Amino acid sequence: MLSSSIRLAGLRRFRLIRCQSTSVETKDTTDKTNIFESKDIKWDKVKTVFSKKPKNPARSPLLKNFFNGQFDSELIAFPEVINRDDMAELYKTVDQSKEFFRTINSDEINKAGMIPSDVVEGLRKLDAFATDVPHSFGGTEFRITESCLRGETEAQDVNIMRTLNVHRLVTHILNESGSDEQKSKFLPLLAKGDILGTVAFIELDLCPNGIFNTTAKTSLKGGDWTLNGKKSFVINAKNADLFLVFAGTQISNKCGDKVDGMTAFLIESDMNGVEVKEGEETLGCNGVKQCDVTFNNVELGQAHVIGTFETGSEVAQKLLIKSRLQAGILSLVMMKKIVNTLTKYCIDGCQSGVNLMELDLFKNSLAKAVSDIYALESMIYLTAGIFDDYENADVDLETAVVKVFAQRSLLRVATLPLNFMGPKAIVNGEPLAECLKDALHLNTHGESPDSLEQYIGLTGLQHVGLSIAADIKKIRNPLMNPSYIFKRLYDNKNIENLKQTLHVNHYLHPTMDPAAQWLEFSILRLFIASETLLARHSVQIMDKQIEVRRLSECAISTYAMFASVSRASRSYCIGLQFCDFEMLIASAFSFDHMLKVLQLVRDIHEGPYMTNDMNYVKISKQIFKEKGYFSIHPLTRNF
Amino acid sequence: MHFLRNQLSKLGRQSLILSERYYPIRYDSNTSTDEKKTDDKNKNFVFEKQLTLQSSFENITEKNRDTYLAMVDVFLDRDVHRRNHVEFIYAALKHMETFGVHRDVEVYKALMNVMPKEKFIPRNMFQAEFMHYPKQQQCIIDLLEQMEDNGVMPDFEMQAILLNTFGRRGHPTIKYMRMMYWMPKFKNQSPWLLPNPVPNDALELAKMAVKRMCTVDLHSNVDVYHTNEVESAIDDTWIVSGMSPEQMQLLAQHSPEKSLRIEGPHLIWLRNQSLNYFVLKGDGKEYPMSTDDDEDMDDVSNLTFNKYGWATSKQKQVDVKRSVHEQRDGVIYAVCATGTSTKDSLLSWIRLLEKNGNPCLGQIPVLFKFRSNVAENLLVTSS
């Protein structure tokens, strides 16, 4: 398929808009100006000081516009955020970090349940705590892309990575939303690693009404607010000195009514009423203890609030965006590790004269795992690139997709050894068994994939709703708009046979032609599906979670295709090593996911009665009525 | 044919053994091994052999299963020809209910065994088609019909009897086949399946009834209290009370100025048993009419949803969603059945509810609103 398209494409393509070649380098790397006037900076400590490339003007969001059936031709060129000189410097620190992590014994950390102090000291020396702190506060001020790259080395040890991640989240949020006093008070200390920060977001119990059980109410004494409640699974809470706590609050909306909201508080561990307790033992990730933190009438003032009282959810949004990418990196590294181990196992393994390597079954599984990894890697760096390259980039959905895809594929890949190796894969202490446990643990951490999926679908629909609201109104009132309906019937869009209207292939290497077409069709189908859903359910779509999930899966697949294809095209154009295989991986991945999207959109098109949805709703009703499995035993006699 | 005859004689013996099991006393000889058990009444039976059949069922003073089966045996032993067996079966069918055996498949089988074997089996297609021995066939069809009406499912022994009496093409056998097709299908259709027969114990019945009524709310709890937990109670009986947390919440919101009512007794049937129950009711809650303008359900330009946690459109609801307990004629707070269904036991119920998580009942006046006469307490009825 590929070879034939190469021939065809060579004849047809004249409209390659941006020629991706090595000679095109428009970034100005000349001005390494010293824009930092602060006296606090110890210049010897700052290793990489480069002027950051100024961000490009804001663009409309990429994935959200997929729902509209549009795509951004500039972003398909895969962003190159870091210029060449910075790259060399960055690789130096990355290599140091890699070297350091090679010396770390993860087993010991897992057994001890804590990170040894010499490792912490080593991390301090590597400036691992300072990545998100600006230069003026003694940090290294990494951009997202840079911290992702560096994170890959650190993720060799899950526990250290998680400790660093939460610390970085605190510094990131402080830097983005904190007040000047908060910044100058905490950031220098945080940068040095003298104090450690952590995030308290998750709660063990569901909150029946509201967002969190932990609430801050207007104080009757002392401070402005009183904080009460319990946060669970707080990573590294024992050693942390600073908690970033999200609490449910009553905030006034635009009309002045009180509504449930959230506020971010920065709380020092030595404040009155803060208590850290040993948390529940979990399946995996036991190297760093996760603790319960209880807040008992903690008096808080204005100085403890991050951002403003009302903007807690915006702060949370920033936090989530970063944490999703971190989760992506962690999954990526784990998946790579698992695939590498499995490959070695297949090469060495031999059963009754047959080398495991020769079995198609294993070949197929490994290749699929690798294409998942490839897609995830592409998505992470594409998203990070968009975030770093453009002003106020809206990567909310993109990061959500990264996290869902990462967690789903990590779970898939982590269970592969069960098939490959049998019981050997679940022996306690085996590296792959530990990986499986960690994968299960990570799957539950932060936002759950299911709710994130809903979020992706609904946000997409929200975006589409803005632009096609008028059409939807007409479709839903056919008798009022007969001419519109007839017109619509006339040019009925068929999901099976589409016309190329976006011309994605014009912006990719000609060899990518089929994959580009699949990508384009997926984008168009995503739009048709969104339109169908809005026309069918209108505002009630919020309750149709199965439909939203389908749409969301389409979006995830489409974004993954987009990232893989654009990366493969770039690699091929600039001639990276193995780029021909990158093309193959991207094509294979796109083909799989094009089919997946097609099936999902077909299901959406058919509706709940033609698919099985309604049957399952019916069954579930009986389950709830009987409070569980209800079928009578098959051996029962009726007469 | 020979084979069939063998089978039949075997079956005849079998049915004899069967009847012996139920009825171990023989009347034709006083030398039976069970002579000790032969009391005066049984001797009476022997004597009554001479009476006409129709009246014989009516004349028996002690009407139960044993005497009924005894009657059948008396008929069988009267003479070898079993004259008038159709009339006998019709008479026996008529009196089944008074003997309390109308739900007993064994009794039906005993009656069916009254028919002679082999004689009525059609031997060619004409006989089969033109209802060989119509009177006899109709009699057994009526017997099966009565079984069906009483919800008694036939079993495979009955099939054997029918095959041996009327053969494969007999109309009663076909009726039996139809019954065996449909009756198992309807047997378990009830969404609130009860044991068959339902227990005789009133407390068990009450528990079943209250549990069934509480299925409207999955969170409902069914508690069994005893009146001796209340100091001032006169009756000594049980109370089965059903209430859900949501009802408790609704009750807590009830204004103490408005009274509550205990309404009843209502009747609930559990198969053939009925039971009185009472409900604690209050006036319906008034919700303010929503002041918001009707939202345009077709407008998708402003979809808002909860970003943290599960997104639903519930928050956009125009009106308050009433719980299932808030009906048009009032709010149902709890339901109960007591052992005596007296005013006193109902009072104890209210006190027990107050003690168990509804302190607000102490302030709210509770009125009785009865549909029929209800005793003050048990002592009054017994005196």
B181 touches chain A (CB under 8 A): no
Could you give the CA distance from residue B333 to residue B349 in angstroms, rounded to a whole number? 13
3-state secondary structure at position A355? strand
Q: Which residues of B touch A473 (CB under 8 A)?
A: 298-299
Which H, E and C letters describe A8-63, residue by residue? HHHHHCCCCCCCCCCCCCCCCCCCCCCCCCCCCCCCCCCCCCCCCCCCECCCCCHH
Confirm if B348 and B233 have CB atoms less than 8 A apart.
Answer: yes
Could you give the CA distance from residue B22 to residue B9 in angstroms, rounded to a whole number? 20
Q: Distance from B233 to chain A by nearest Cα, in Å?
A: 37
Average pLDDT of A570-590? 95
Could you give the CA distance from residue A186 to residue A179 in angstroms, rounded to a whole number? 11
* Closest by Cα among B221, B227, B191, B210 to B335: B210
pLDDT of the residue at B313: 63
Q: Are strands B273-282 and B326-327 parallel, antiparallel or unpaired?
A: unpaired
* B303, B308, B313 member nearest A462 (Cβ): B303
- Identify any residues that bridge with A245 across adjacent strands, giving them in sequence order: A200, A265
Residue B370 φ then ψ, to 5°:
-100, 145
B1 touches chain A (CB under 8 A): no
Average pLDDT of A18-32? 42
Calculate the alpha carbon distances from A100 to A110, A132, A253 in Å: 18, 20, 50
Continuous segment of H or E residues that includes residue B198 = none
CATH number, span A8-194: 1.10.540.10
Owner of token pair 């393994």: A349
Residue A66: pLDDT band by 50, 70, 90 thresholds?
very high
> H-type helices in chain B, by residue range?
2-22, 40-48, 53-59, 65-78, 85-99, 105-112, 125-129, 134-149, 156-166, 171-187, 202-213, 245-253, 343-355, 378-382
* Closest by Cα among A520, A515, A516 to A505: A516
Class (C level, CATH) for A320-446: mainly alpha
A60 touches chain B (CB under 8 A): no
CATH number, span A450-624: 1.20.140.10
Hey, where are the domains in chain A?
A: 8-194, 199-310, 320-446, 450-624
- Give the single-character DSSP code of A496: S
Q: Distance from B310 to chain A by nearest Cα, in Å?
A: 6
Peptide bond into A449 cis (omega under 30): no
A549 touches chain B (CB under 8 A): no
Residues listed for chain A: 639
Q: What pLDDT digit, counting tens, does each position of A161-205 carry? A: 989 999 999 999 998 888 888 888 888 888 888 888 999 888 888
Could you give the CA distance from residue A359 to residue A42 in angstroms, rounded to a whole number? 58
B301 touches chain A (CB under 8 A): yes
Q: Which residues of B touch A262 (CB under 8 A)?
A: 308
Each residue's pLDDT, cut to its tens digit, for chain B (383 residues) gives 454 445 444 544 444 444 433 433 333 434 334 444 444 444 444 444 444 444 578 888 889 999 999 999 989 888 888 888 999 999 999 999 999 999 999 999 999 999 999 999 999 989 988 999 999 999 999 999 999 999 899 999 999 999 999 999 999 999 999 999 999 999 888 889 998 888 989 999 999 999 999 999 999 999 999 988 888 888 889 999 999 999 999 999 888 889 999 998 899 999 888 899 999 999 887 777 665 556 677 888 888 777 776 666 655 555 667 888 988 888 999 999 999 888 889 999 999 999 988 898 888 999 988 887 776 655 433 33
pLDDT of the residue at B318: 56
> Tokens at residue A92, please?
């130096």
Q: Following DSSP, what letter does each residue of A393-447 receive, concatenated?
A: ---HHHHHHHHHHHHHHHHHHHHHHHHHHGGGGGSTT-HHHHHHHHHHHHHHSSS
- Identify any residues that bridge with B337 across adjacent strands, giving them in sequence order: B240
The pLDDT of residue A413 is above 80: yes
> Tokens at residue A68, please?
């509209």
Judge whether A8-194 and A199-310 match in fold: no
Residue A19: pLDDT band by 50, 70, 90 thresholds?
very low
The pLDDT of residue A7 is above 80: no
Could you give the CA distance from residue B250 to residue B296 in angstroms, rounded to a whole number? 32
Q: What pLDDT digit, counting tens, does each position of A31-58 carry? A: 444 444 445 555 554 444 445 667 888 8
> H-type helices in A480-578, by residue range?
482-490, 513-537, 545-574
Q: Which residues of B touch A323 (CB under 8 A)?
A: none
Average pLDDT of A252-256? 69
In A425-444, the residues whose Cβ lies within 8 Å of chain B are none
Check A539 against B313: CB less than 8 A apart: yes
Which range of A276-290, A297-311, B112-126 scores highest in mean pLDDT? It is: B112-126
Sign of the alpha-carbon dihedral angle for B357, B359, B360, B363: positive
Could you give the CA distance from residue A502 to residue A505 in angstroms, rounded to a whole number? 9
- Identify any residues that bridge with B276 across adjacent strands, giving them in sequence order: B267
Q: Which residues contact B234 (CB under 8 A, 6 or more apart)?
A: B344, B377, B378, B379
pLDDT of the residue at A354: 86
* B155, B180, B297 member nearest A538 (Cβ): B297
pLDDT of the residue at B380: 39
Confirm if B363 and B354 have CB atoms less than 8 A apart.
Answer: no
A609 touches chain B (CB under 8 A): no
Residue A1: pLDDT band by 50, 70, 90 thresholds?
very low
The amino acid at residue A605 is H
Confirm if A275 and A299 have CB atoms less than 8 A apart.
Answer: no
Rg, C-alpha atoms of chain B: 31
Sign of the alpha-carbon dihedral angle for B252, B256, B258, B260: positive
| Pick among A255, A475, A552, A639 to test the B interface (most B CBs inside 10 A) | A639
At the topology level, CATH places domain A199-310 in Butyryl-CoA Dehydrogenase, subunit A; domain 2 (2.40.110)
Q: Which residues of A touch B295 (CB under 8 A)?
A: 539
Q: Distance from B312 to chain A by nearest Cα, in Å?
A: 5
Confirm if B207 and B240 have CB atoms less than 8 A apart.
Answer: yes
Q: Are strands B330-338 and B238-243 parallel, antiparallel or unpaired?
A: antiparallel
Sign of the alpha-carbon dihedral angle for B139, B144, B148, B150: positive
Could you give the CA distance from residue A194 to residue A191 in angstroms, rounded to a whole number? 8
Continuous segment of H or E residues that includes residue A602 = helix A579-606
ipTM computed for the complex:
0.73
Q: Following DSSP, what letter does each residue of A83-137 receive, concatenated?
A: -HHHHHHHHHHHHHHHHHHHT--HHHHHHHTS--HHHHHHHHHTTTT-TTS-GGG
The amino acid at residue B214 is C
B292 touches chain A (CB under 8 A): no
pLDDT of the residue at B26: 36
Please give the residue that has the higher pLDDT: either A635 or A260: A635
Q: What pLDDT digit, counting tens, does each position of A525-575 carry? A: 999 999 999 999 988 888 899 999 999 999 999 999 999 999 999 999 999
